[in-house]
Amino acid sequence: MVSPSIPHLVAALSVAGSLVTAWIALYAWRRRDVAAATPFGALAAVASGWSLCYAGALIAETEGVASTLLTVGDAVGAQIAPLWIVFTIVYTRAERYQRPSIYALVWVVPAAYVLLVATGPIHGLTETSAQFMTASGITAPVLERTGVSVVYTAFSYLLLLGGYLQLVRFLIESRNVYRQQVVVIIIGSVVPLVANAVFAMGLSPHPGLNPTPLSFVLTGVIVSWALFEYDFLSVAPLASDMVVEELPDPVLVLDADDAVVKHNAAARAAFGADDPIGQDIEAIVPGIARRTDNGQLVSANAPDGSGTDAKYNPQLTEVTDQHGEYRGQLIVFRDVTAQQQRLDRIEALQAATESLIDARIDDEIADVAVSFVDRILDQEVAVVFLADTDGDTLRPAAVSDAVEAANGGSLSPLTPDDRTLWTRYEQSAGDGVVTDGWQWAPLSNVDVDELLVLSLGDHGLFCIGSRASGYTTGDRQFARILADGAETALDRVAREQDLRENRRIVRQHTEQLEFLNGVLRHNIRNGMQVIESNADLLEAHAGADPESRQYLDRIRDRTAELSSLTARIRSITDTVTTDPEDRLWPVELTPALREQIATMEQRHDDLQIDVDISDDPVVLANGLLEDVFEIVLQNAVEHNDAAQPHVEIEVVHVGDWIQVHVADNGPGVSDHFKESLFERDVAVSETAHGFGLYFVALILDLFEGDVWFEDNEPRGAIAVLEFQRAPDE
């Protein structure tokens, strides 16, 4: 007879596992305020039911009872995998999966499997009849596995694998403070998985002995201990991996009542607290709540223990558990002393730049530079030397209060006798630190160990004294920026002075020109009137003598030319002396051009002029536009050696410019003469009436246009007049 001791022993252990997991389920229900306790309790309850059914089947006397208990246990155990998924979703706070639709989807296959098990006797897809089988001396009921059960087992393993992957992801998250707890849960949950795998692969000593229910005893104890009993949830262990004792910045960890529960050495040094544990944060850092709300910095001792003041930027991070419950906060006081000093310097430089821009004289610029040395470099000794008019000495244009107080306001100029400083001025040798050798007496009366000498170009020197040795790179950079600003301001003041002087000279010359022009026009006009009157008197005495009348006509023609020339000079003078904004206005080009064409055709009977104007262009010009066309047309005719002079005029639009091309069939213009044709000396000596093309170039320049000559084919030249298109065209 085969001994039944082993099945009964397994049944007893399964009952024990059922009782343990039932107690765990009850305990989880009582602690359901802890997140994930509810799905864990359901998981324990299902495991308890499965273990109990399996224990009953092992001690059943008949196959019918064993079949019923194994079938019910199979249906109950089918809920393990989906409940495991729900537990991992809730525990790891995977909120995007915490939806009824996801849960329903997870239970579709388990529900279908339970339905197939319940209706197995009808369709035969699942086996519900158990048979007692003896193997290895052990007799136990066995429920034959069908294809459906194998498929569902594989599906269950997929769900279990998904849950483990979710736990592993949660484990490796950089901000997860529950690493120890997650590791314990993973280890505890692996036990039944391994036990079930042993049974599924046929490694059990009997096909009816399933070690999985037994493993729930160990798993339940381990996981419940991790969730409810082990002190994973106190704030100090949660933040322990955040606090690095050697961190250079002060760190404080507070509990939910704002009491300090953890700190590092830098915090003790900064806030002067030997043992801040248990103290309220306001007692250690007064006003911390108000300062953090307003984004203000905190002043305290430097963390290096030097006793100097430091500026800290408190950065608060809430410490919560994986379920979002507030457990306290972590405060890291970032040492921003250097950044704040740099910011203060930048703000001071900005203010200095604004003051330098507003300064109008050299001494005011020097005062600004000296006044900002204390704010920017934290130095009290500063001097700005500026070159005097003859350049033989450098006068102290501005000195700091310390220099002035030490010398009683009596300051001598810097001369070439002080070779150390004077050489740097003469050679503009750049910035440098002088430790000794300066001979300017006022500096000997102040406590200065080093002198930072900055060149201001031709304007002078900017000297900054220090009682301590060594200027940092940052000190030199900021000092150079301040010196550059001062030098730029001095350049601007010098240019403004030159500009004012030039304007004075121009205004004086303009007034003189207007006076002389007025006198000249008055005298020439009166002289022309006298000549014309005398010509009229002579005409009465000349009678019909042809030669006498020829002389009179020549006098009248020349008088008219001189009167016209005087009027033209007056127009030029008015244009030159008029404000540039008022000297030009929109002028229609076509009427002015056609009027001069008509004049030329009246003067020259054999002249042929062809005109190509497609529209009515408007250019920026004034009343001198007609004079420009007259001179250019006259030049094309007078220098034309063809039997029949021919002039072609074309108006061309080129972007924002309008060009007038005046082409003739004369001898043309040589290349070397094209460059100098519009010069004043050439225009006076080689063009009509001593005026001509220089006048055209002058007026086109006032019109902000241009004029040049090109070659015409097969012979001749093309005068190109370029005007600005009027804005409203």
Q: pLDDT of 312-365, one tens digit each? A: 888 888 887 656 778 788 888 888 877 877 887 888 888 888 888 888 888 898
Tens-digit pLDDT profile for residues 496-507: 888 888 888 877
> Which CATH code of 1.10.274.10, 3.90.79.10, 3.30.565.10, 3.40.50.1980 fits the domain covering 582-724?
3.30.565.10
Calculate ∠ Cα 164-29-100, nearest 5°: 55
* d(C-alpha 29, C-alpha 721), whole Å: 100
Q: Which residues of the chain are in CATH 3.30.450.40 domains?
A: 341-498
Residues 6+ apart with CB under 8 A from 504: none
Q: Which residues of the chain are in CATH 1.20.1070.10 domains?
A: 5-229
In contact, 73 and 48? CB cutoff 8 Å: no
What pLDDT score does 577 carry?
Answer: 66
**If you search the block for the tokens 């002058």, which residue do you land on?**
698
In contact, 71 and 117? CB cutoff 8 Å: yes
| CB neighbours of residue 480 within 10 Å | 16
Q: Which residues of the chain are in CATH 3.30.565.10 domains?
A: 582-724
What pLDDT score does 227 carry?
Answer: 59
Three-state SS at 411: coil
Residues 6+ apart with CB under 8 A from 63: 129, 130, 131, 132, 141
Structure token pair of residue 386: 């500026």
Which residues in the chain land under pLDDT 50?
A: 1-3, 174-176, 231-243, 683-690
In contact, 48 and 77? CB cutoff 8 Å: no
Residues paired with 331 in a beta bridge: 252, 316
For residues 213, 215, 218 and 220, what is the CA-based torsion angle, rounded to 10 degrees? Answer: -50
* d(C-alpha 171, C-alpha 163), whole Å: 12
In eight-state DSSP terms, residue 578 is S
Q: Which residues of the chain are in CATH 3.30.450.20 domains?
A: 243-335
Which CA distances in Å does 622 have to 135, 651, 727? 123, 18, 15
Structure token pair of residue 404: 């002035």
Structure token pair of residue 683: 């225009």
What pLDDT score does 358 carry?
Answer: 86
In contact, 676 and 682? CB cutoff 8 Å: yes
In contact, 207 and 133? CB cutoff 8 Å: yes
pTM: 0.43
Residues 6+ apart with CB under 8 A from 578: none
Tens-digit pLDDT profile for residues 112-132: 988 888 888 888 788 777 778
Fold of 243-335: Beta-Lactamase (3.30.450)
For 396, the enclosing helix (H) or strand (E) is strand 394-399
For 443, the enclosing helix (H) or strand (E) is helix 441-444
Three-state SS at 140: strand
Distance between the two ends of the chain, CA-based, in angstroms? 122
Burial 435-460 (b: 16+ CB within 10 A, else e): eeebebebbeebebebbbbbbbeebb
Burial 648-678 (b: 16+ CB within 10 A, else e): bbebeeeeeebbbbbbbbbebbeeeeeeebb
**If you search the block for the tokens 């010196």, which residue do you land on?**
483
**If you search the block for the tokens 């519009």, which residue do you land on?**
678
Residues 6+ apart with CB under 8 A from 229: none
Which CA distances in Å does 146 have to 18, 130, 194, 334, 408? 27, 13, 22, 66, 111
CATH architecture of 341-498: 2-Layer Sandwich (3.30)
Residue in 143, 145, 140, 142 with CA at minimum distance from that of residue 58: 140
Could you tell me how many residues make up the chain?
729
**If you search the block for the tokens 């604004």, which residue do you land on?**
354
**Rg of the chain, C-alpha, whole Å:** 53
Which CA distances in Å does 426 have to 391, 421, 455, 458? 10, 9, 10, 8
| CB neighbours of residue 219 within 10 Å | 26
Q: Which CATH superfamily is domain 5-229 in?
A: Rhodopsin 7-helix transmembrane proteins (1.20.1070.10)
DSSP secondary structure string, 256-320? TTSBEEEE-HHHHHHHT-S--TT-BHHHHSTTHHHHHHHT--EEEE-TTSS--EEEEEEEEEEEE
**If you search the block for the tokens 């007026």, which residue do you land on?**
699
Three-state SS at 128: coil
